[in-house]
Every structure is written in structure tokens, then in C-alpha cells.
Amino acid sequence: MPRRIVSLDLCTDQLLIELVAPNRIAAVTHLAADPAVSAIPDKARGIPITRGNAEDVLRYDPDLVLAGPFGVSATVDLLRRLGHNVVVVPLAQDLNGVRASVRAVAGAVGASARGEALIAELDRRLLAAVPPAGTAPTAVIYQIGGTVSGPGSLADAALAAAGLRNMSVAYRPARGGQVPLELLIAKPPDLLVLASNADEYRTALADNLRHPLIRQLRQRGASIELPWRYWLCGTPHIADAIERLAQARAGIKARRQ
Amino acid sequence: MRDIPGRLGLEPSYLLAALAAMAALAFIMSLSVGPSGIGIDAAGEARTLIFYEIRLPRAVLGTLVGGALGLSGAALQGYLRNPLAEPSLVGVSGGAALGAVLAIHLGLSHLLALALPIGGLAGAAVAMLAVVALAGAHGGPVTLILAGLAVSSIATALISLALNLSQNPFASVEMVLWMMGSLADRSLTQLWISAPFILLGCALLLTVARALNALTLGEDAASSLGIDLRRTRLAVVAGTALSVGAATAVTGIIGFIGLIVPHMLRPLAQYRPGLLLPASLLGGAAMLLVADVALRIVQPWVELRIGVLTALIGAPFFVWLVLKTRAELAP
């Protein structure tokens, strides 16, 4: 059973922290303790932080390295050539992907029972959020720079699980991408989901969130803020996002009646 | 004194009227097209919002920014007597973007909205002075372009440094935003904060018309005609910094408009730098508006950035201009 585990990806950080005792974790990324993107910043506090390059990882003499599919392939190759055990956990793009990620990490760290317990808890919460029959209200996850979450993303799966129809398809045939504000105003969704609030990022890229029309749209129709930490990673905490969305969906129904 | 009309020369008032009509037409087109397909004649509340809060700021900004870029290009070419001078090529736009990025990431624009255009024009002024100092008063076209390249490179490096240090998870995307400008989804707020500076800068640049005409005879001759060279330099530097600085602060760098427009209009303006100024103001506005309309009509799967389009048109033009200049400078 590995006892000096290093994680190189925000998503594997969180899965690892949920699955094993802290004394078996050698290091995680700095993002794990960042409340903007991590669902469990408090649990991550106190765990050593790795910069993520091979030399830094070797300092911890890990017996298992967990990595995500993006941005670290050179590091992963190098660590493997040096004889380290590296497990690359695929990105979860739907709820089955979340279950698979949990099982992949749980299997690698020897915590299969704990993994199955997390999945059972996730399934219980998903069942509670299952929408009543009837037409699903439409929703859009509108982000910095005017991008929206499209079909095939974890966020899209979360909308569906909460009984909402992702309207991004109506704006753009392509997956993801940017939606001009004009289209959002011409065909507003029943629920506007904002991934961050207007003041969170002081960058020119977030100007779209500060546009007066977004404020107006929020005053007129239903909207919620669903911070990234809830849905950026495919961990069992995706249930937090789904519960919030389901609550907002119920609110729309109530408002209509 | 009456000029000998050029081959393509037009009566100045006709030329300006024709360009103004083109700009007006492009302005109306800009109000009429958009991804929602709502036309200028549609009714309803969504249409009112789209019209006044999305398309109007975009069209007015397009007019002002295009005008500022065309005019400052003509003024720089006339004042420096250099066919390759242009705000983005001589590093003024880069300096403006750096100033705006600093204003945003130091939190200044959060405290005071006007800090954004002020940051832009301060950056543009510093870049402009640096280029003039580097190239020297009598440097040739090549020296100026090299100085502009140096200043641009420094500005680009500092913008990426500022974005990196800000721990902004979107740093790389935001870099693209500044390098390849855009008019999309700008609000009335951004229009209000930038318009006064752009207009003031343009007004300043238009005052140097007579001086630029005289300068075609050389500095000594211009001085003897009663032109105050120091005042002219001040007006060109301040006018360019104000107009390009404030424009770039809200749209990012939009290149080549200031290069193409004066070159296209120069024969029509009878090679008179003074007449070329108002002509390039109107022509620049018309050109940027047309480009902005074109990218909303020809919509691929993603919205193209206007800076990408102007660079696609402008860069080959620049190559042609380099070849032409080289032939002229050849011994």
C-alpha cells in the first residue's frame, strides 16, 4: 500500500485527500487549498505543496504519483523513466466519469472500500436531486470571457442531473465556445448560472460579467452563482453543484406557478 | 496657393464628403447586423436592449477607434515623414495596452474607472517618447521600425509579466485579448470613459494639418513659414497618446488600420498631409466599421477578433510597403 503519495493535479489532489489519511499524502498542488477552485480547501491545509516539476516531486521520494491528463506529460514521462509508479487519472466528463475517477484513484491507493462508499453517497445525493417529470427549464453556465459550458462537459452533465436543459446548444452548434452577449439577451435562459461574480476577477477578460445587461438579466430572471470549486473537478463534490442547481430549478417552477 | 491636382485627386470637400458618407453607411450597417439576427427595424424590449446597450456602444467605439487609428497613422507618417509609421508598428499601441493592463492589475481601474484610459494614454505617451528618442529626430524608416519593434517587444514582455504575476488563471487568454483587439460586448461605460480622451486626441492631431503640409518642404523651410516645430511635435505626441492610448485601453491592440488607410487615401488627398488627416479620420472609421460588420456576417463557429482580421489584411500590405520602400531606398 503506497504511503508517500504525490498528486500533480487539482482533481487528483481532491480525490486523494478524500480517500486516504493525511499522513500517507506526501504532497499536493497549491490549488488544493485554494478556495476559488478546490471543493475541500480546509482539508488540504497543512499538506506539503509540490511545484509539480519532476525534480521537486523526487524530493518526496514518492511510491505513487497521481497525475491528470493535461499539462504534465513531460513530467510523467520523466518520472516513469526514473522507475516511479505514475497513475494518470482521466478527466471526468460525465457522472460515470466521476465514478471511474474515484475508482481509479481508490484502486491505486488501496482504498477501494472507501471509494465505493464515496460513490454510494454520491448516488444517494443524485437520486434525491432527480427532477420531477415535465419539461426541463433551460439554463446556461456563463463564464468569464463569454464562454459557456457545452455538451460533453461535466457541467453539462450536472445541469442534466439537476433537471435543467443546457441552452448552450441553442446558441452555438459547436462544443463550448463563446456566446455573444447579444444572443443571451435575445434568447435568455430560464436560469442564468454564473461561475464567478463580477468582482471576483479584476481582469479585462471578466468585463463581460460586469456588463450592465448581465445585472439587468439577473434582476429580471432567475440566476445563481455556482463557483468553480463545485464543478471544476469530477469528484463526488459534484453533488454539491447538482443540489444547488436542483434547488434553483425548483425555485423557477415555484415562481411560474 | 493652389495645388496641382494629382492623377486621382478630388476636390477636398468632395473627398471628405464621400468618406463621411461611407463611414455613416458603415455605422448604420454596424447597428443592423448581429448574431441574434435582429434587424434595425425590429420591435420589442430585447431589441431595445440589444440596440442601445450592445450594438450602439460597439458601433460608436468602432467609429472612434477606427478614426483615431487612421488619423494617428496619417499624423505619424506626416510628422515623421516616414511611410511605415503607424501606432501599432511603432509600439504606441503596445505601450497603451501595457498601461491599461497595469491599471487593471494594480487595482487602479477598480478604484476609479478613468484609471483605465489614463493608464492607456500614459503608456502610449511613454512608448511614443521612447521611440522618438531611440530613433532620433532624423532617423530613417528602418531605424524607426527597429525602435518601434524594440519598444513593442518590451511592452509585450511586460504585459505577460504583469499577467503572470497577477496569478490570473486566465493569463494566456487575456494576453490574446490585448494582442488581438476586439469590439465585442463592450458596454456604454467603456464608451463613456474612453470617448472624451479619444476625441480630445483627435482634435489635437487635426490642429497640425498646416504644419504637416509645411513640413513636406523640410524643417528649415517649415520654420521659415512660421511653423512652431516644438508645438507640432507636442501636438502629435500628445494627440497620438490620448487617442490611441484611450482607444487601446478599451479594445486591445488593433493593428494596421493606421498604416493601410493613409496609404490608400494619400493619392486621393493629392499627397497633402494636411488634407490626409481628416480624410484618414473618416476613412479609418469607415474601414474599422466595415471590418467589424464583415466579421459578424461571416461567422464561423467562433467569433473572429477584429485585430485578427485587420492583421490578416494589413500584414501583406505591410510586406508590399516594405518592398516598395526598399526599392525607393535602393542606391
Q: Which residue of B has its CA nearest to A203?
A: B104
- A146 to chain B, minimum CA–CA distance in Å? 9
B201 contacts B189 by C-beta, under 8 angstroms: no
A25 φ, ψ to 5°?
Answer: -95, 120
Q: What is the CATH number of the domain that holds A168?
A: 3.40.50.1980
- What pLDDT score does B287 carry? 96
pLDDT band of residue B248 (cuts 50, 70, 90) is very high
pLDDT band of residue B8 (cuts 50, 70, 90) is low
- What pLDDT score does B7 carry? 52
Same domain assignment for residues A37 and A93: yes
- CB spacing of A203 vs B49 below 8 angstroms: no
B50, B110, B187 ranked by CB distance to A202: nearest: B110
Same domain assignment for residues A51 and A119: yes
A174, A181, A187 ranked by CB distance to B185: nearest: A181
For residue A177, which residues of chain B lie inside 8 Å, CB to CB? 301-302
Same domain assignment for residues A118 and A11: yes
Count CA atoms closer than 13 A to B8's CA, side-chain side.
Answer: 9
For residue A204, which residues of chain B lie inside 8 Å, CB to CB? 100-101, 104, 174, 177-178, 252
Look up residue A9 and give its three cell numbers. 493535479
Q: Which of residues 287-326 of B touch A (CB under 8 A)?
A: 301-303
Tell me the pLDDT tens digit for each residue of A139-197. Answer: 999 998 888 888 889 999 999 999 999 998 888 655 447 888 888 998 899 999 998 87
- Which CB contacts under 8 angstroms, 24+ apart, belong to B233-236? B233/B79, B235/B204, B235/B205, B235/B207, B235/B208, B235/B211, B236/B75, B236/B76, B236/B79, B236/B205, B236/B208
- CB spacing of A207 vs B186 below 8 angstroms: yes
d(Cα B265, Cα B267) in Å, to the nearest integer?
Answer: 6
Tell me the pLDDT tens digit for each residue of A89-143. Answer: 998 999 999 999 999 999 999 999 999 999 999 999 999 998 888 889 999 999 9
Judged by DSSP in three states, A105 sits in helix
Q: In sequence order, what are the residues at sequence separation of 6 or more whose Cβ sits closer than 8 angstroms to the Cβ of residue B189? A: A212, B113
**Residue A66 bridge partners (DSSP):** A7, A87
B255 contacts B314 by C-beta, under 8 angstroms: yes
Share of chain B above pLDDT 90, in %: 59
Final residue before a domain boundary, out of A80, A95, A126: A126
Question: Best-predicted range by mean pLDDT among A201-205, B270-274, B282-286, B305-309?
Answer: B282-286
Tell me the pLDDT tens digit for each residue of B125-162. Answer: 999 999 989 987 666 777 888 899 999 999 999 999 99
Final residue before a domain boundary, out of A126, A151, A172: A126
Instruction: Give the least confident one: A172-181, B111-120, B179-188, B257-266.
Output: A172-181
Q: Which residue of B has its CA nearest to A183?
A: B36
Same domain assignment for residues A138 and A252: yes
Q: In sequence order, what are the residues at sequence separation of 6 or more whose Cβ sits closer than 8 angstroms to the Cβ of residue B176? A: B305
**Around Cβ A94, how many Cβ atoms within 10 Å?**
18
Residue range B4-10: mean pLDDT, rounded? 54
- What pLDDT score does B43 carry? 74
pLDDT band of residue B210 (cuts 50, 70, 90) is very high
A173, A183, A202 ranked by CB distance to B36: nearest: A183
- What pLDDT score does A155 carry? 93
Same domain assignment for residues A96 and A191: no
Share of chain B above pLDDT 70, in %: 94
- CB spacing of B190 vs A207 below 8 angstroms: yes
pLDDT band of residue B326 (cuts 50, 70, 90) is confident
For residue A203, which residues of chain B lie inside 8 Å, CB to CB? 104-105, 166, 168, 170, 174
The answer to ipTM > 0.85 is no
pLDDT band of residue B81 (cuts 50, 70, 90) is confident
Residue range B7-31: mean pLDDT, rounded? 89
- CB spacing of A202 vs B54 below 8 angstroms: no
Same domain assignment for residues A114 and A137: no
Q: Could you tell me which of B142, B180, B174 has the C-alpha nearest to residue B328?
A: B142
- What pLDDT score does B175 carry? 85
- What pLDDT score does B1 carry? 42
B104, B252, B301 ranked by CB distance to A174: nearest: B301
Which is it for strands A64-67 and A25-27: parallel, antiparallel or unpaired? Answer: unpaired
- CB spacing of A203 vs B174 below 8 angstroms: yes
Tell me the pLDDT tens digit for each residue of A31-51. Answer: 999 998 999 999 999 999 999
Instruction: Give the least confident one: A45-54, A226-235, B161-170, B246-255.
Output: B161-170
Sign of CA dihedral B45, B46, B50, B51: negative
pLDDT surpasses 50 at B2:
no
- A81 to chain B, minimum CA–CA distance in Å? 31
A146, A172, A174 ranked by CB distance to B185: nearest: A146
Same domain assignment for residues A210 and A238: yes
Question: A72 is in which domain, residue-wise?
Answer: 5-126
- A206 to chain B, minimum CA–CA distance in Å? 9
Number of structural domains (chain A) is 2
**Around Cβ B316, how many Cβ atoms within 10 Å?**
11
Final residue before a domain boundary, out of A92, A126, A160: A126
For residue B55, which residues of chain A lie inside 8 Å, CB to CB? 182
Instruction: Give the least confident one: A2-6, A70-74, B112-116.
Output: A70-74
Tell me the pLDDT tens digit for each residue of A191-245. Answer: 999 988 777 777 888 888 989 999 999 988 899 999 989 999 999 999 999 999 9
Best B30, B170, B179, B306 member to test A by mutation, with max A CBs in 10 Å, is: B170
Same domain assignment for residues A138 and A245: yes
Superfamily of B70-329 according to CATH? ABC transporter involved in vitamin B12 uptake, BtuC (1.10.3470.10)
